[in-house]
Amino acid sequence: MTEKDPHTLSLEAKELLKSLIETPSFSREEDKTAALIAEFFQNKNIPFFQKGNNIWVKNKKFDPKKPNILLNSHHDTVKPNAGYTKDPFSCILEDGKIYGLGSNDAGGCLVSLIAAYYHFYGRDLPFNLILAATAEEEISGKNGIAYILPELPEIELAIVGEPTLLQMAVAEKGLMVIDAEVTGKAGHAARNEGENAIYKALEDLNILKTFQFEKVSKFLGESKATVTIINSGSQHNVVPDKCTYCIDVRVTDAYTLEEALAELESKLQAKLVPRSMRLNSSRIDENHPILKAADELQLEKYGSPTLSDQALIPFPSVKIGPGDSARSHTADEYIYDNEIKDGISLYIKLIETYAAMRSTK
């Protein structure tokens, strides 16, 4: 890759993508793709840092006095589903599409960000560029982006690479999974005894069926609570004294997770225990200069319903990249060949535009 040769940038990005596709990298098993990415930087004489299966690099003229911009995408994948008709670990170019597991989510974004990073590697910018290729994004794991945040300097802005059709996600829903438990009293089914926990839980389920959170987000609309699992009873002739159910809560930026939990607790009789309070919603401030850069580039802005590493990033961030979220986790996953070139070009323009704005501050 060279700064002055966009064609070479694109070719080498696609070659790296091919290697990543052909190297299995399920969440928590990304050591081999981490090694590939490390080797790529090694071959470019770029010093890299590694913690677990996370690799990150800094620009050549890193200045600790400058603010820092993080470019981030992930190299782990989900497991291929049974619907694949093509080998998920073969990079197949067909009809202008690059097929293979992780091609769209998020290999195309990752290699495009790496190409953009390399384009600016030796350049003077009003900020430092840090690129991080991280692990465990698909499971929001503790050994992914969260694992290296303490190793990074203070970050002014993160550009997170995920397939968004090159539109800019300025807000993203968070996730809270809640285990709910309703308690009754055991009794013999034939004697009309006890207090049936299933019937008590039905009251909650009827509330949740039509439940609407009070606050609505400008970009993300309504938060949503959905019951996805229910369990109760062990014998046909015993009135169950416990009924448990699971609530999948997609929380907009109108709420913190704690606020959403409190609102649910005020409406339901079950004891509610969140599995995690880590996966927060996000929204970038409407006056942040990255949004002015987006306007200058005429990028469409939207609120994303899908989760990414933004949920674990505690500083301002936007999500943007080549590919389409609708293709993620589908059989015969693919990204269009020309989307890689377009992704590299957009990342470069976005960084240049943001740099110009920083220079005139």
Q: Contact 303/221 with Cβ under 8 angstroms?
A: yes
pLDDT attached to residue 361: 56
In order of 39, 250, 270, 309, the CA distances from 115 in angstroms are: 15, 34, 51, 20
Strand residues in the chain grouped as ranges (E):
48-51, 54-58, 68-74, 92-94, 97-99, 128-134, 157-160, 168-172, 174-183, 187-188, 216-217, 221-222, 224-232, 238-239, 242-251, 271-274, 282-283, 301-304, 317-319, 334-336
* Tens of pLDDT, residue by residue, the chain (361 residues): 445 577 889 999 999 999 999 999 999 999 999 999 999 999 999 999 999 999 999 999 999 999 999 999 999 999 999 999 999 999 999 999 999 999 999 999 999 999 999 999 999 999 999 999 999 999 999 999 999 999 999 999 999 999 999 999 999 999 999 999 999 999 988 887 899 999 999 999 999 999 999 999 988 999 999 999 999 999 999 999 999 999 999 999 999 999 999 999 999 999 999 999 999 999 999 999 999 999 999 999 999 988 999 999 999 999 999 999 999 999 999 999 999 999 999 999 999 999 998 776 5
The model carries a pTM of 0.91
